[in-house]
């Protein structure tokens, strides 16, 4: 191809093959050999075509802020404003834009792997069919970060600089491990600069900056590097400690990040099933990103209305976003390394395995909610006025604002783009030369993608650990990527005596996915009974609204959720908000402490050239996250404190912390304020509120007494109703700098 031809993203190979989890791909010797050799091959600076080089593709996501070579016709013309990138974070395009992004790398690796297999076949004819078949089946792997594996540690394959590969004739060769790191070259790519972090001084003067990450000096990508300028050491033991925390003093496994991640994914499958397709745009907006432009602001929630808009908003208020666990992985894996900053993250190879798993979760969600999507007509706001989803690109102000520096190209134009299902997902062009659109990326679209994911077996003990052995299980099989959504999303294995009504396939899938990712309220309640003992029960607010017709309430249970609203740009640095509990016993002597959950804000520096980021900063956009509080944790807190009223228990026992990735605490809410407490500016304080809901499930036909607490988990998914607001937590005066 010439330099004027686009590098079309058409998918790897000519047929549909499954993407494998990385720990499974390793077990397929020939595929893994070709995968490693091919990825190393496309890293070479002279690999052709240039658009297929890994370094060029990594640069699409952030620095060096140059148009990708694979889209020459899309480059700015001479005299156009400074190129400001392709960012689609905090946007309804976030999941769909990243789909062709992963397909691009998958295709480049497949092409290089096919060439290698053809050479092996030519040199070793007796093994030709095996190597060619391995190349044909090779697709890009994903890292399932909801599965801790056997040792609950960061997978070994990401830790080792070298890997041993089986090549023809059974020989073994050692090669650089492309999953370990990426050598950035010398000089570093344009745009790599050290990152600063904020520090608060004792006199409460304006915060000042100190260096935190030496991206302008480090010669390769790092995960959890020590804070030194040259040749830092990777502290993978710290990463392990976050992923797999030790049991607490009572021997109970703590809510470490493996659990937190799984819990955040389970929240993606608690969306209601009954929204009209026209209202599905609100569900997609909430699911796809942490901004949720179509939903009420925090100020609006102070005085909610009773219109149809508000009815939908209330149902979706604390539903999960796929961008939330996505962000958390970036910060957990990165520490102060490259993954924690969107300008540099895609140069770390694990970025693409992470996003491949995000794509897999998206595929599951699409099949559980096939009618919820962004549409082309925008949405109606609280005043019933038609609005369009928008992306604003700029830096120092709006288009009609006075220019602070007429010579600064950043200030020449502020563009506003409408975001729709047919908005071009630049810079990715499909086979006919036109840009991919979100419509094209959908699992059920007719545009070939040439990949799928392996089916998931959901065992009976996951579906219902309380029920005696029945033979009931679920096999979740992905519909072909070009099939209509919902055609073949699940098969049910039932014993001959099992009696169930005709549950819609999407509902069976949704119920199984909730439980697969750990959201199973009835067993959680029964376990809490064991913790509480026979004489104690948790006290909940009175239910104000009845369950829906045809649904059974989940008796004696409420879902407790923390809603966290933050300014993603306040620190000019990616950061976390960590929520913990500190419960005193009745003597006031012993404290039961532990984590509740964390949310991660993934961002770029204040100086970034990302036009979309600067536009959102100008617009003062906020992002919203949710943390579900584990029912078992509530029961343990209640037993330790003897406080059974859950609202009062949580209001007096929770604490919060703001920390940069890399475990650098910035501020917290101590139980007792120290004498030399340093307050932090109010604009840095997250808004954290407490909410709860009752749960219900569509009657599944089981033979049980429907008027009292269930002794088994429903086969149908749980949904929320009777949402209640329980107040603001952590007022400004409770926060201090650390």
**pLDDT digit string, tens, across residues 542-587:** 999 899 998 999 999 999 999 999 999 999 899 999 999 999 888 8
Which two tokens mark 48? Answer: 């052709």
pLDDT of 400 > 50? The answer is: no
pLDDT of 408 > 50? The answer is: no
Output the DSSP codes for 160-204.
-SEEEEE-GGG-EEEEE-TTT--B--SSPPTT---EEEEE--TT-
Identify the CA nearest to 103 among candidates 556, 468, 450, 421: 450
Whether 96 maps to a domain, the answer reads yes
- Residue 207: predicted pLDDT: 58
Identify the CA nearest to 57 among candidates 79, 74, 39: 39
pLDDT of 77 > 60? The answer is: no
CA dihedral 687→688→689→695, nearest 10 degrees, is 130
Q: What are phi and psi of 289, to 5 degrees?
A: -160, 165
Give the whole-angstrom CA distance, residue 553 versus residue 706: 9
Greatest alpha-carbon span in the chain: 79
pLDDT of 412 > 50? The answer is: no
User: 665 in helix, strand or coil?
Assistant: strand
Identify the CA nearest to 301 among candidates 734, 724, 692: 724
Whether 184 maps to a domain, the answer reads no
**pLDDT confidence tier of residue 517, bands split at 50, 70 and 90:** very high
Which two tokens mark 683? Answer: 């604009």
Give the whole-angstrom CA distance, residue 342 versus residue 338: 8
- Residue 67: predicted pLDDT: 95
- Residue 247: predicted pLDDT: 41
Which two tokens mark 568? Answer: 């993603």
Helix axes 505-516, 350-368, angle to 10 degrees: 140
Give the whole-angstrom CA distance, residue 329 versus residue 331: 5
pTM of the model: 0.93
Residues in Cβ contact with 663 at an 8 Å cutoff, skipping those fewer than 6 apart: 238, 242, 335
Q: Are 316 and 591 in contact (CB under 8 A)?
A: no
CATH label of the domain that carries residue 160:
1.10.1280.10
- Report pLDDT digits (tens) over 629-646: 999 999 999 999 999 999
Please state the rounded mean pLDDT for residues 460-485: 71
pLDDT of 489 > 60? The answer is: no
- Give the torsion sign (CA, 237, 240, 242, 246): negative
User: 538 in helix, strand or coil?
Assistant: coil
- Report pLDDT digits (tens) over 315-342: 998 899 999 999 999 999 999 999 999 9
Output the DSSP codes for 224-263.
SB-S-SSSPPB-HHHHHHHHSPPP-TTSPPP--HHHHHHH
Q: How many domains does the chain have?
A: 1
Whether 659 maps to a domain, the answer reads no
Q: Are 30 and 155 in contact (CB under 8 A)?
A: no
Burial of 260 (0-12, 13-18, 19+ CB in 10 A): buried
- Report pLDDT digits (tens) over 274-304: 899 899 999 999 999 999 999 998 888 888 8
**pLDDT confidence tier of residue 12, bands split at 50, 70 and 90:** very high
Whether 130 maps to a domain, the answer reads yes
pLDDT of 591 > 50? The answer is: yes
Full domain range(s) for residue 148? 17-176
- Report pLDDT digits (tens) over 497-512: 334 456 777 788 899 9
Q: Are 33 and 120 in contact (CB under 8 A)?
A: no
Please state the rounded mean pLDDT for residues 44-62: 98
What would the 3-class secondary structure string for 206-220 be?
Answer: CCEEEEEECCCCCCE
Whether 165 maps to a domain, the answer reads yes
Q: What does the angle CA 662 – CA 666 – CA 669 come to, to the nearest 5 degrees? A: 125
- Report pLDDT digits (tens) over 212-226: 899 999 999 999 999
What would the 3-class secondary structure string for 314-329 be?
Answer: HHHCCCCCCHHHHHHH
Of 73 and 411, which is predicted with more confidence? 73
Question: Please, what's the b/e burial string for 666-679 (b: 16 or more CB within 10 A of its CB; e: otherwise)?
Answer: bbbbeeeeeeeeeb
Which two tokens mark 277? Answer: 């397709």
Give the whole-angstrom CA distance, residue 565 versus residue 574: 15
Q: Are 106 and 448 in contact (CB under 8 A)?
A: no
Integer-rounded Cα Rg, in Å, for the chain is 26
Parallel/antiparallel/unpaired status of strands 575-584 and 591-601: antiparallel
Half-sphere exposure (CA, 13 Å, Cβ side) for 233? 4
- Residue 399: predicted pLDDT: 36
- Residue 479: predicted pLDDT: 67
- Residue 415: predicted pLDDT: 72
Give the whole-angstrom CA distance, residue 453 versus residue 359: 10
Alpha helix stretches (DSSP H) within 423-520:
438-441, 460-463, 505-516
- Report pLDDT digits (tens) over 222-258: 999 998 999 999 999 999 998 876 444 444 444 568 9
Parallel/antiparallel/unpaired status of strands 687-698 and 718-729: antiparallel
Give the whole-angstrom CA distance, residue 330 versus residue 336: 10
How many C-beta neighbours within 10 Å does residue 436 have? Answer: 23
Give the whole-angstrom CA distance, residue 150 versus residue 473: 23
**pLDDT confidence tier of residue 589, bands split at 50, 70 and 90:** confident
Whether 21 maps to a domain, the answer reads yes
Average pLDDT across the chain, whole number: 89
CA 448 to chain centre: 25
Whether 135 maps to a domain, the answer reads yes
Q: Are 651 and 690 in contact (CB under 8 A)?
A: yes
- Percent of the chain having pLDDT more than 90? 71
Give the whole-angstrom CA distance, residue 637 versus residue 27: 43
Least confident range of 34-43, 85-94, 146-155, 203-212: 203-212
Whether 87 maps to a domain, the answer reads yes
CA 715 to chain centre: 27
Which two tokens mark 649? Answer: 């228990």
pLDDT of 181 > 90? The answer is: yes
Output the DSSP codes for 34-89.
HHHHHHHHTTSTT-SSGGGSHHHHHTTSSTT----TT-GGGSPPTTPPPP-----T
């Amino acid at each position: 191809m010439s330099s004027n031809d686009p590098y079309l993203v058409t998918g790897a190979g000519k047929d549909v093959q499954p993407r494998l989890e990385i720990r499974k791909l390793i077990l397929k010797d020939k595929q893994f050999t070709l995968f490693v050799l091919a990825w190393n091959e496309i890293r070479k600076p002279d690999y052709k075509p240039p658009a297929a080089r890994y370094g060029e593709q990594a640069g699409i996501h952030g620095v060096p802020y140059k148009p990708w070579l694979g889209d020459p016709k899309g480059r700015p013309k001479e005299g156009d404003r400074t190129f400001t990138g392709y960012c689609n974070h905090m946007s309804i395009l976030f999941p769909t834009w990243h789909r062709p992004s992963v397909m691009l790398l998958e295709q480049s690796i497949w092409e290089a792997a096919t060439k290698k297999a053809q050479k092996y076949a030519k040199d070793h004819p007796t093994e030709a069919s095996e190597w060619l078949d391995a190349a044909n089946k090779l697709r890009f792997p994903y890292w399932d970060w909801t599965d801790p594996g056997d040792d609950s540690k960061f997978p070994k394959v990401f830790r080792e600089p070298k890997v041993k590969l089986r090549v023809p004739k059974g020989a073994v060769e050692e090669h650089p491990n492309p999953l370990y790191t990426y050598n950035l070259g010398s000089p570093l790519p344009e745009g790599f600069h050290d990152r600063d972090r904020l520090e608060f001084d004792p006199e409460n003067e304006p915060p000042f900056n100190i260096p935190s990450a030496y991206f302008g000096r480090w010669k390769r990508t790092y995960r959890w590097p020590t804070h030194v300028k040259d040749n830092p050491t990777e502290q993978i033991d710290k990463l392990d400690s976050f992923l797999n925390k030790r049991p607490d003093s009572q021997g109970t496994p703590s809510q470490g990040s493996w659990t937190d991640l799984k819990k955040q994914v389970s929240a993606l499958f608690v969306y209601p099933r009954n929204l009209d397709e026209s209202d599905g745009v609100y569900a997609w907006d909430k699911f796809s990103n942490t901004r949720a432009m179509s939903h009420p602001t925090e100020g609006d929630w102070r005085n909610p209305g009773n219109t149809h808009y508000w009815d939908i908003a209330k149902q979706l208020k604390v539903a999960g976003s796929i961008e939330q666990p996505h962000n958390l992985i970036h910060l957990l894996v990165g520490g102060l390394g490259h993954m924690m900053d969107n300008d540099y993250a895609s140069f770390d190879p694990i970025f693409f395995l992470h996003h491949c798993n995000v794509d897999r979760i998206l595929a599951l969600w699409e099949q559980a909610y096939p009618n919820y999507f962004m549409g082309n007509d925008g949405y109606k706001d609280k005043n019933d006025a038609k609005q369009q989803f928008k992306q604003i690109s700029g830096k120092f102000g709006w288009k009609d604002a006075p220019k602070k520096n007429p010579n600064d190209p950043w200030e020449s134009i502020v563009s506003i783009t409408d975001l729709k299902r047919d908005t071009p997902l630049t810079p990715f062009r499909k086979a006919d030369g036109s840009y991919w659109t979100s419509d094209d990326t959908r699992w059920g679209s007719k545009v070939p993608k040439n990949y799928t994911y392996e089916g998931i077996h959901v065992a009976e003990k996951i579906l219902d650990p309380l029920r005696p052995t029945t033979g009931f299980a679920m096999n979740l099989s992905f519909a072909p990527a070009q099939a209509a959504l919902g055609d073949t999303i699940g098969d049910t294995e039932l014993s001959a005596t099992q009696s169930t009504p005709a549950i819609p396939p999407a509902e069976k899938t949704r119920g199984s996915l909730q439980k697969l990712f750990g959201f199973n309220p009835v067993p959680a309640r029964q376990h809490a009974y064991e913790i509480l003992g026979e004489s104690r029960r948790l006290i909940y607010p009175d239910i104000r609204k009845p369950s829906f017709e045809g649904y059974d309430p989940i008796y004696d249970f409420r879902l407790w959720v923390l809603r966290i609203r933050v300014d993603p740009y306040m620190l000019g640095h990616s950061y976390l908000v960590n929520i913990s509990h500190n419960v005193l016993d009745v003597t006031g002597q012993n404290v039961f402490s532990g984590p509740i959950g964390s949310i991660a804000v993934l961002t770029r520096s204040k100086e970034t050239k990302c036009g979309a980021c600067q536009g959102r900063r100008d617009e003062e956009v906020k992002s919203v996250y949710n943390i579900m509080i584990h029912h078992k944790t509530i029961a343990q807190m209640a037993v330790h404190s003897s406080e059974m009223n859950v609202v009062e228990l949580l209001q007096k026992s929770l604490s919060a912390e703001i920390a940069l990735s890399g475990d650098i605490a910035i501020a917290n809410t101590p139980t007792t304020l120290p004498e030399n407490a340093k307050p932090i500016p109010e604009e840095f304080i997250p808004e954290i509120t407490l909410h709860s809901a009752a749960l219900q499930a569509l009657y599944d036909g089981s033979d049980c007494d429907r008027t009292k607490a269930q002794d088994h988990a429903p086969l149908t998914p749980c949904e929320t109703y009777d949402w209640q607001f329980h107040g603001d937590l952590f007022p400004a005066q409770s926060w201090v700098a650390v």
